[in-house]
Amino acid sequence: MEKIHIDKLLGRYKSEEFTNLIKSWIDNFDSKKILKTDLREEAFGDDEILFSLSNKNSAFFALDIEDDTSKKAYIRQRAYGFSHKYLTADVRELPFKNDVFDTIVSSSTLDHFNSEDDLIKSLLELKRVTKIGGNLIIALNNKHNVIFRLMLELERTFGLISYPVQFYSLNNLRKIIDSIGLTIRNESYIVHIISPCNGILLLLRRWINKDIVNRLAGMSIYLFRWLGNRKRSKSLSGWFIALNCAKEAS
130-186 per-position pLDDT tens digit: 999 999 999 999 999 999 999 998 888 888 888 899 999 999 999 999 999 999 999
In this prediction, residues 107-136 reach a mean pLDDT of 96
Q: Give the residue from 173, 79, 92, 170 showing the smallest Cα distance to 128.
A: 92
Superfamily of domain 8-246: Vaccinia Virus protein VP39 (3.40.50.150)
Domain extent listing, the chain: 8-246
1 has pLDDT over 80: no
Q: Give the residue from 5, 42, 15 showing the smallest Cα distance to 151.
A: 5
Is residue 36 a contact partner of residue 49, using CB atoms and an 8 Å limit? Answer: yes
In this prediction, residues 104-108 reach a mean pLDDT of 96
Q: What is the structure's pLDDT at 56?
A: 86
pTM: 0.95
Q: Which of 1-10, 16-25, 55-64, 88-97 has the lowest mean pLDDT?
A: 1-10
42 has pLDDT over 90: yes
129 has pLDDT over 70: yes
Confidence class of residue 3 from pLDDT cuts 50, 70 and 90?
low
Q: Give the residue from 110, 142, 141 showing the smallest Cα distance to 125.
A: 110
The phi and psi torsions of 38 (rounded to 5 degrees) equal 70, 120
What rounded mean pLDDT belongs to the chain? 95
